[in-house]
Structure 1
């Protein structure tokens, strides 16, 4: 286990190495039914009560694609400035976990529905950083394992495990960045800002509530270091299922310090998945990371290809809402405030509240003062969300 004593200082790490990141974000879509069957996606139901032969992978059961899931994927792709495939298909990603009832995940491999995009994100000082998007593809979620009898909630030390397949088959969109280079010491801040902006985009599109604390949006943080002046990427680690903006930033920062300590001590980074611990801000080893060939991908034989017409894609594009960055820039101009003021409003979670107050009849200056003054102070003191 890596502890804080195994780290070098953040400043020393950045003095010797350039961080390179890759962020993989999974978003649960807010469809009424699952991706390949008619089972409900409603939360809170009795375990294993929202299942059928399709999502349980029983012999002879045939999947059917959820059209709303495809439409949501196209919306996300367009909002991320991606190209939308004229023809794509699903694949089987083979791996064996107790919470994967079919022993494969229906996903997309070499033919994603959306690819080659970007998302501009604003940092704390108002600077804009462009994150290039490799792909956004459709897939399904797994079931949920609950490990009972241990102290940590993990399988180690547990006496037994319970499996709930209600979540198995819920539509997911996985959004994968290209390698994020050039962020330097601001890499953890860029990671946090990207996930925050992506969450705002997803919410604006209305395709998911994107509540990270409920697992509706989660981020895998891939990170590697390379010595200054070199081009070759280092070996990466992948911190899995990070579920808050603060934790995304902390996980990236910790891994920078841990990688630098290992490399500086003459060691070798192991390509592996890692778990993030909220209480300490540290990560611990999970399992050796598979490569694509380990999953033995092959085209899904039970599903026809997806070929969205150009007319449908343009119809969806025309119906997109005003996206968050465009909206914020418009409000900055309308309200006559600075980018720093807007960042403070965002950090406080007050933007939608201020807009709603203005819509109810208040002037902009009074609405901002009301929410960012007494109410923000009271919320902060009581530890309550501003809304």
Structure 2
């Protein structure tokens, strides 16, 4: 079977940075932030510039940071500089290189991160830890929320601050799919019955990787049949059926599976242009604005699956090589405030699901969240996250991505 072409795709940016109490030595021990009173951290932050490294391909996310978060940081005496990146790994590698070189005032001060990149960085001591529990606005989060305490199976351990929640979601054009499937297996069956109208991003794209993990759960008989923590025996037992299913699917995909979108953005463009009838996203709350501004068809709808899909959270982390950790903490705290979380939840701003526990807010703040406009496109978070299951550990990601390239992309 001939090789299918693949271009390396965009992932979402990861990152980190904060106050050091230990030198950024090239070992795996994570530096711990100084336990300073919050008013002292605010004083240290005055006049500092924070470089926030984040995925540059999300126009709404970029606009939110530039137009809403940055002015709020300026009001607190901090200059926020957004640095767009294409691949989270680039940010992590920069931090690790600086750490190896003993840099204590590096180029990265704060990063939008989660998943395997957080786990890899934590193992290598890339992140400053022991700071998020001191953020005043952490009081509005639920300490028992598993999405905020574990990131792809890696304990957060006060090494990153919650930013918003996400839910892996399939999206379809109801005009082209009048009777949508209601299970993941049904989606694959629909794709085979409608050749050329479905595809998914090629791993290691962040969204393409989660699609493959959802397919693994499906082919294995459900989330309870896949160990959350990776082990080679489980991979060897479960992966063959997964790749057999995806190989059987390939000839029915867009361009007969001879090529795959290199990124989730490219898949979204295919959907917006009517070349496929489904797309997929970790940020379904953004769909409302994409329909309102005409980017997506007006009949765009969320495909809720009976068995649920994977849910997670996005975080802000501070590298152990940052010399602006005080200001980075101030920015992370502002980003977690009820005001910023409400603004970011507005569909026309960014439309992200809040990381806050609404019941911990004042009655007035609760009312503001409750008054967010309902969407004809996106159900409530409670509906869209029904039967959600947690991410597999980060250690699953690379073996599955590499297995997909060998067994599906190369057709071996």
Normalised to the residue count of structure 2, the TM-score between the two structures is: 0.21
Bigger helix share: 2
TM-score by length of 1: 0.22
Which of 1 and 2 has higher RCO (CA within 8 Å, sep 6+)?
2
Structure 1 or 2: larger strand share? Answer: 1
